[in-house]
Amino acid sequence: MLTVDEVKDLETPCYVFDEEELKANFRDFSRALRDGWSQDSRVAYSVKTNPLPWVVKLARECGCFAEVVSDDEYELALQCGYPCDEIVFNGPVKGKAFFEHALRGGSLVNIDSQREIRWAKELAGKGDPVRLGIRANITLERYCPGECLSDDHHGRFGFSYESGALGDVIRDLRSSGVEIVGLHMHVTTRSRSLKVYDVLSSYAARIIEEFDIDPTYVDMGGGFFGGGSNNIGAYDEYVRVIAANLSKTCDPRRTKLIVEPGGAVVCTPGYYVGRILDAKDILDERYVVSELSRINIDHEMKKTSYNLTLHCASDRTIPAQTLCGYTCMDSDRLCTLEDEPELVEGDIVVVNYAGAYSCSFTPSMFIEHPPAVYAKTREGMKVVRALHKASEQLA
């Protein structure tokens, strides 16, 4: 956690990332893969979870691949020093030029759309060697009820195994000269439970056997839980469950195991810091306005509570106060604090575990510019991204 001495002189609002903890998370998940599967397995950092270039570069320093889901993210990974063959290219919105560039450059490309099928067949028809992976869709809710994010709908990504669509795509591509070398099983869930990965990896093994795939890699996707001193051993448990099923059809010496953690590595080392600007009573309710905003840490606007550290001048406790953001939206209420010290102008609020999906969805200009970013290093606080100004936006 951040002490008042560490944050009192920072330009706020800002994000702070604990560099050593982030490195430890990357390296610990990589170690779990090596110990539980093979030396050749890799963590592919989910760039969409936090595309801050400093984070993306740090992941590469720690031996990770980059997992991207758009042309812009692919370009960012290249600019951050990743060679093509250390990039996993996922998602249904790839552009044709980047799709072809990625295949020719040796990226791990997992197809997830009809047009990618067409593009792959066109390339193979020209005599180009096309080796790619395919994203499978299974009705995970059937086996893990209440754990999926799609509620009453089917998951919308991948090709359905149960309907036969996955098999049809595999046969169609093979008949056109495309080689299927990988399988992508990503499904994000509410629970992030071991059971989810038990089901997904068991289906991966079934699909590999049924369609006679000799995979160079199996990509189990992301959606994991873990990171930080309170979650030691979590990465190992995931790998243990996955490996138990994959080992039935895959040889660790021939098949690379890929995982795509985002929040599981970048959440716990991240903090969102801001000062209190004002406090007032409206009838029987106390409203506290801060430099923070819900839009910067809760893009789905669903959270009702946060893990907070309050650095307050007052030690007087009050029954309830609603912590609000800087925007002019009435819905920009982060949470209601009950029986906490009274917040007044100048106090500092630290939102802990705020590293995931915090820099991703912040608009480039919305009343306030994106927050500054600091890295907490062994040498002290270092500016990673300065607070933007209007003149820079115009330039």
The domain segmentation of the chain, as residue ranges, is 4-16+270-394, 19-266
Which neighbouring-strand residues pair with 278?
Answer: 289
Give the torsion through C-alpha atoms of 195, 198, 204, 206, to 10 deg: -110
**pLDDT digits (tens), the chain, 395 positions:** 899 999 999 999 999 999 999 999 999 999 999 999 999 999 999 999 999 999 999 999 999 999 999 999 999 999 999 999 999 999 999 999 999 999 999 999 999 999 999 999 999 999 999 999 999 999 998 998 888 877 677 888 999 999 999 999 999 999 999 999 999 999 988 899 999 999 999 999 999 999 999 999 999 999 999 999 889 999 999 999 999 999 999 999 999 999 999 999 999 999 999 999 999 999 999 999 999 999 888 877 788 889 999 999 999 999 999 999 999 999 999 999 999 999 999 999 999 999 998 877 766 656 777 889 999 999 999 999 987 766 655 55
CA nearest neighbour of 42 among 18, 17, 59:
59
The residue to which tokens 């093509």 are assigned: 84
Peptide bond into 13 cis (omega under 30): yes
Handedness of CA 25, 28, 33, 39 (dihedral sign): positive
CATH topology of domain 19-266: TIM Barrel (3.20.20)
Question: Distance between CA 46 and CA 260 in Å, rounded?
Answer: 6
Kindly report the number of other CB atoms within 10 A of residue 75's CB atom. 12
One-letter amino acid of 132:
L
Which neighbouring-strand residues pair with 324?
Answer: 289, 333
- The CATH number for 4-16+270-394, chosen from 2.40.37.10, 3.40.190.10, 2.40.50.140, 3.40.50.720, is 2.40.37.10
Q: Is 195 exposed, middle or buried (0-12, 13-18, 19+ CB in 10 A)?
A: middle
Q: What is the reported pTM?
A: 0.94
Contact 226, 29 (CB under 8 A): yes
Q: What is the DSSP letter of 342?
A: P
Question: Distance between CA 191 and CA 6 in Å, rounded?
Answer: 34
